[in-house]
Chain A
Amino acid sequence: MIKVTLKIVCDSGPIIHLDELNCLYLLEDFQEILIPETVHKEINRYRPSSFKKLSLPFNLSPGNIPDNAPLLTLCRIFSLDVGETEALALMEKNPQAIFLTDDASARMVAEQMRFKVHGTMGILIRAIRRGQMEAEEVLRILKDVPSQTTLYIKLSLLDEIILKIKKEYNL
């Protein structure tokens, strides 16, 4: 499998959730993983093991607030925390990157700014398409999400996703 030439900018949620599922290695598929300073601190506080397990292409970036006034205003209106705001400032400097977050407010701001944004579920399902995992393995992991992670997802929606994957891959 050839790595995609995409950078990602990470909020703490997806790194923590993927690590809880032992799936952090899925981020190896990206060229560079940009982590703002405050997000790095948050991950170190809640999941210090995340940065130690693998040699992922992490790139710790200084924590800056957005230069773009509308973006900064949106961050404030949506009460984004410092880590999310720094991550969006990084997106401002790397607009071709994908922003990874599991926070609904941060995602809303990112979409408003027309940034590409996805979350833990997207990375897990993408792993099948990218040949990183078999569909059966992803299904097993998805079933573990409610019990093994701190990611909140409605159970009926999770069931629906599982069914859709089964249908898509004739399982």
Chain B
Amino acid sequence: MKTIQTEIPEQLYKKALALVKDGWFRDEKDVFTEAIRRFLDTHRPELMEKFIRDDMEWGLHGHD
């Protein structure tokens, strides 16, 4: 496991804490690990790049 130190908005932290207090997660660490895992699952570099390229194509040659 890797330990990281970062700053996050207060509101985000409170929301994570609320999930822990409600019993959905063991601790805040688990909330953030799950959040990052889900983010990485859906933000694959090749896909993000494809979206930007599609946008460029639409911007240059689209019809609307």
Residues of A within 8 A of B (CB): 4, 6, 78-79, 98, 104-105, 107-108, 116, 118-119, 121-129, 153-154, 157, 161, 164-165, 168
Establish whether residues B52 and A126, one from each chain, have CB atoms under 8 Å apart when the complex forms.
no
Taking the closest CB of chain B, its distance from the CB of A169, in whole angstroms, is 9
Interface status of B51 (Cβ within 8 A of chain A) = yes
Establish whether residues A119 and B49, one from each chain, have CB atoms under 8 Å apart when the complex forms.
no
Which of these, A105, A121, A165, contacts B55 with CB under 8 Å? A121
Most buried by B among A4, A121, A153: A121
Interface status of B60 (Cβ within 8 A of chain A) = yes
The range of chain B's interface size is 20 to 34
Q: Bound complex: CA of A79 vs CA of B26, how far in Å? A: 20
CB under 8 Å from chain A, chain B span 1-55: 38, 42-45, 47-49, 51-55
Establish whether residues B42 and A78, one from each chain, have CB atoms under 8 Å apart when the complex forms.
yes
- Chain A residue contacts of B43, Cβ below 8 A: 104-105
Q: Bound complex: CA of A157 vs CA of B55, how far in Å? A: 12
Establish whether residues A129 and B62, one from each chain, have CB atoms under 8 Å apart when the complex forms.
yes
- Chain A residue contacts of B38, Cβ below 8 A: 79
Q: Bound complex: CA of A78 vs CA of B39, how far in Å? A: 9
| B44 nearest CB neighbor, chain A only | A104
Which of these, B45, B48, B55, contacts A122 with CB under 8 Å? B55
Establish whether residues B51 and A129, one from each chain, have CB atoms under 8 Å apart when the complex forms.
no
Which of these, A98, A128, A168, contacts B64 with CB under 8 Å? A98
Given A79-B42, A105-B42, A108-B42: A161 in contact with B47 (beta carbons within 8 A): no
